[in-house]
Amino acid sequence: MNQMAEGEKTQSDGNVYAHIAHALARGYTDLYYVNMDTDEYIEFHTDDERGVLNEARRGSDFFEECEKEVQVFVHKDDQAAFLKTMNRRFLAEALDGRLVHELVYRRIKDGKTFYVLMRISRMEDNGSFVVIAVKDIDELMRQRRMEERIREERIVYARLQAITGNFICVYVVDPETEHYREFSSTEAFEEGLKQAKEGDNFFAKVRENAAIYNHPESLDQFLAVFTKENVLAEIERNGHFSLSYRFLLKDRPIYVQLKAALVEEKEGPRLIVGLNDVDAQVRQEKEMGKQLEQAQARAMIDSLTGIKNKYAFNSSAERMNRQIETQSQESFAIVVLDVNNLKIINDTLGHQAGDQYLKEACKIICDTFKHSPVFRLGGDEFAVIARGNDYEHMEELLEVVSRRNAEAAHTNGVVIACGMAKFDGDANVDEVFARADKKMYENKSKLKSGTKNNAAL
């Protein structure tokens, strides 16, 4: 009898090892041979170096042991799925009509967490027995997640490109390790920038390439600002980093804007760095600015005489008022001038003659106050803001105006009434102008009465 029993045990163990060998042939290492009817099991492990199968332990209540050990050996987020699978009734239903059921979960061993694939196989020759084979697939899962993330990033980048249409490239950077991946939108960028699409030392490589691919006029600014410390500090302060400069794309300078921000991903924070082609926008803005400047300049020019107009005078006065407030205004004088007899000429000879008369008067004023801006305030009124040489020789210049008026009175030439006031601690330009204007009207009255006068002071 003993010999028969021993023979039966030997045959039984032979069946066990035949089943185990069947499982091992599939590349699994940690194995459990379970009797679904009695819950008895045998646990095997394989030697990591030699791949030799070793029996680790035997037990009589497999499913109860699973419930006890799940807290220790299974990641907390996967424990529910594991316990659902390690249930006799569930397995019976899962394997009903099928030979295999699989579960991927995270296992904990020696304090490390890694992905494993658990493959549960029902034996074809005896449905009461199952072999549970566990295989380390952590590297495979990480590779798959990396590929999925890259696909997701490409999708996001494609959508971003479809919306904006002007991103040259986007970098995804690990802020700790500086490992990066790059996605480009143009062949010109791919060909022009000889930098690996994936690598390490992101900031060092970008700064190294800047010496080659940045416009010389932008290089110093770029190198001074684009450092890991500056970028992360600016993001912490304002939520993003932005830098505009000129970039050489196939030796053609274009305006670009570099933007960077931190985003949270499954693997941790990632620095997203985008290089945006803003060349057309910047050039358009520059052209618009140039046109606006030209328009503003035209708006400050009197169309008849070609000198500055009242709008320009008011702008100068506002600027001078700010200087007066800060006590930084240099010495100046306001000269107010009025062309006599313009209405008579318009009424008798016509407006063309009147316009010519104004032009002649304007030339006389400009020739007299050669070093100062002259403004036509409207109609027959002009003004001068005298500084520097004209200010220092003001009395001499007013004498010139007086002599011209005396000559013009005898030759039917252009007579110009004149009044001047110097800045003397006034609150604003208007006060100086008012005093000069008053003196101009006094001078105008005397000119009409024929009184000799050179005192426009």
Contact 243, 225 (CB under 8 A): yes
How much is the pLDDT for 25?
43
| 441 and 307 within one domain | yes
* C-alpha span between 430 and 432 (Å, rounded): 5
| pTM of the full structure | 0.45
Average pLDDT for residues 114-136, to the nearest whole number?
Answer: 86
Cα distance between residue 183 and residue 179, in whole Å: 14
Please state the rounded mean pLDDT for residues 412-440. Answer: 95
Residue 31: which domain range? 13-136
Does residue 259 lie within any of the structural domains? yes
| Phi, psi values for residue 252, rounded to 5° | -105, 120
Q: Is residue 151 part of a domain?
A: yes
Specify the number of domains making up the chain: 3
Looking at the fold, whether 305 and 444 belong to one and the same domain comes out as yes
Give the mean model confidence (pLDDT) for residues 430-437. 97
Judged against a pLDDT cut of 60, whether residue 142 lies above it is answered with: yes
Q: Are residues 131 and 152 in the same domain?
A: no
Residue 35 and residue 67 in one domain: yes
> What's the confidence (pLDDT) of residue 316?
95
Per the prediction, the chain carries an average pLDDT of 84
| Residue 86 vs residue 29, higher pLDDT | 86
pLDDT at 141 over 50: yes
Ordered strands of the 308-309 beta sheet: 308-309, 374-378, 381-386, 333-339, 416-422
pLDDT above 70 (res 454)? no
Task: Classify 231 as helix, strand or coil.
Answer: helix
44 CB contacts (<8 Å, ≥6 apart)? 20, 30, 31, 32, 33, 53, 54, 55, 56
Which pLDDT score, from 0 to 100, does residue 394 have? 96
pLDDT tens figures, 292-342:
777 777 888 998 999 999 999 999 999 999 999 999 989 999 999 999 989
